[in-house]
Structure 1
Amino acid sequence: MQAFFWMMGTLASFALMAVGARELSGDIATQQTLFIRSVIGLFCVLLISFLSQKRIKFQTKRLKLHTMRNIFHFLGQYGWFIGLGLLPLAEVFALEFTVPIWTLIIASLFLGEKITQSKLVSIALGFLGVFVILKPGIAMVNSASLFVLASAVCYAISHTATKSLSATESPLSILFYMCLVQMPIGLCLSVSSWVWPEGMQWSWLVIIGLTALSAHFCIAKAMQYAEATTVVTLDFLRLPLIALVGVVLYSESIEIGLIFGGLLMLAANIVSMRGRRVVNANNKEL
């Protein structure tokens, strides 16, 4: 029950972030939004560190990996935010579910993780889901969809780096460097197109900054109370939720192919998770 509660916080965070990005699209440049989001995030991380009873150290010997991770994370966010302004919200979220599939491939190439039979099935199901959503050969593939897919690959590279960093760095330290590295990138890219936000725009920027942190926090808490497969299954509720938001707020239509493709990718992620659990159990027996 506690895992369900925290996952509802995750779903609400992602939904609010998506709506905020859509509301700012066309008025505030994406790179400026990401800069302000990093400023808010850095302030929150430092405040948490200051208020914490334990002294949190941010020193690191892996600055190059932090930098590489956050360059790709910034690119992933940029593509995701661009997609939210150009595509139906549900399509962006559905394509985002390819991130674990790309992560499997990248982790096998750069971290030496073994490609098992379950991983191969997972990858096949994931790509089948992408084909169902994009419908290549039936309709011209929207370039914005390819943009979101590219952002998913960048997210996967970022997640792979995070997996390596988590062996030596605390979660708060990873968030600290995420904001610290991405903040000057966003500032440099937004100087030429800077627009001072007005009225509700400030509110949406604050919402994006806070929900970006709360989404990570809630999903981490959910992982403490439930197995990864349960969390992944609950996370899939993001798709029908954001589809409903798109219908209510932006009069978007819901395509059956999109839901079916999303289900295929959900199945892919569950197969991957269960395969990993079997491997871990066998290793413990040995």
Structure 2
Amino acid sequence: MAAEVAPTGAVEPGPQVGRENPWSAVLWMVGALLSFSAMAIAGREISKELTTSQLMFYRSIIGFAMILIVALGTRRGLAQFRTRHLKTHLLRNLLHFVGQYGWFFAIVYIPLAEVFAIEFTSPLWVAILAPFVLGERFSALRGVGIVVGFAGILVITRPGLESVNQGTIAMVIGAIGFAASTLATKKLSGSETALTILFYMALIQAPIGLVLSLDGFAFPSTLVWAWLVVVTFFGLSAHFCLTRAYRLAEVTFVAPMDYLRLPLIALVGMLLYGEPVEIWLLIGGVLILAGNYLNLRARRNGR
């Protein structure tokens, strides 16, 4: 599924002891970058026929089937999905649904590069929320990073100079949803496996998508079914690759590679959809990435 954790892996664990392998991490990150790009393309193609709610519903159904197949092939089978944290799963997936809905909605209305640039503010929202939710210390360096990052949003959107697109608003809300769900994921990760978290994501989000899709419900065409499989598969593979990369190398080595998503999707948008890469997007994107870098340094230095 898309965006199972914060898009930039803000809370991913470090490498396992004795397992650090930076070059293998690079290969896994290439897989993640290509998967995220494939998701964006598939989501935009699906939007030509289905609403965002319908996309979310069908994606959850397909993802649920994929997860069951994988689980049945493991030693523990379906028993691994027993949980004592159903309320936390419910809260996490309500928040994640908001984030993912905003992401899929935004790719219809604004350039793909702008979607990804605003998505990268999610770790900044995590930095704001973490002291209240997880009790983490809020440092001056984190504060500077947040200010720089949000200056990037202002440069991209230029409120007052241009009308702010509904897709931009949706993606900002989506980034906040991703950040909040990331904190819930961190609470669950101590006791739940990644597959269990994915299982409850599909189980909880499918009925939400169905209820929101009832007005004008539609069945996908054969081509759109294919795109739905693509968006679901690459949503899973993106975060599997991302998780593997963070397990093989330090976060300070992996995170900057994740930022290559922005120029890559800008190239995809330009070649496939004729989307211009404006100077304001470039400047704003650099500021957002700089804010993330400062936040990462603060986290790494424990201050």
TM-score band by shorter chain is: over 0.9
Contact 2:57 2:206 in 1 (8 A): yes
Match of 1:51 among 66, 69, 73: 73
Match of 2:58 among 27, 36, 40: 36
Alignment of 1:53-202 (within 5 A): 53-55=75-77, 57-202=80-225
Contact 1:232 1:269 in 2 (8 A): no
- Measure, in 2, the Cα distance between the counterparts of 1:267 and 1:229: 13
- Measure, in 1, the Cα distance between the counterparts of 2:258 and 2:283: 16
Tell me how large the CA RMSD over aligned residues is.
Answer: 1.4
Structure 1 residue 231: Cα displacement: 1.9
Contact 2:108 2:167 in 1 (8 A): no
Q: Which residue in 1 is equivalent to 2:20?
A: none
Structure 1 residue 173: Cα displacement: 0.9
2:51 alignment partner AA: A
Q: Which residue in 2 is equivalent to 1:11?
A: 33
Contact 2:38 2:231 in 1 (8 A): yes
2:271 alignment partner AA: V
Structure 1 residue 229: Cα displacement: 2.2
- Measure, in 1, the Cα distance between the counterparts of 2:76 and 2:219: 38
Q: Which has the higher helix share?
A: 1
1:81 alignment partner AA: F
Q: Which residue in 1 is equivalent to 2:7?
A: none
Structure 1 residue 65: Cα displacement: 0.9
Contact 1:11 1:235 in 2 (8 A): yes
Aligned residues: percent identity? 46
Q: Which residue in 1 is equivalent to 2:18?
A: none
Structure 1 residue 140: Cα displacement: 2.2
Alignment of 1:224-235 (within 5 A): 224-235=247-258
Structure 1 residue 143: Cα displacement: 2.6
Q: Tell me the TM-score normalized by structure 2.
A: 0.89
- Measure, in 1, the Cα distance between the counterparts of 2:210 and 2:164: 32
Give CA deviations for 1:11-54 in whole Å, capped at 9, x if unaligned. Answer: 11111111111112141111111111111211222212111235
Q: Tell me the TM-score normalized by structure 1.
A: 0.94
Contact 1:36 1:209 in 2 (8 A): no
- Measure, in 1, the Cα distance between the counterparts of 2:248 and 2:290: 22
- Measure, in 2, the Cα distance between the counterparts of 1:245 and 1:154: 26
**Residue ranges of structure 1 left out of the alignment (5+ in a row):** 281-286
Name the count of aligned residue pairs.
280
Contact 1:29 1:193 in 2 (8 A): no
1:120 alignment partner AA: G
Contact 1:25 1:85 in 2 (8 A): yes
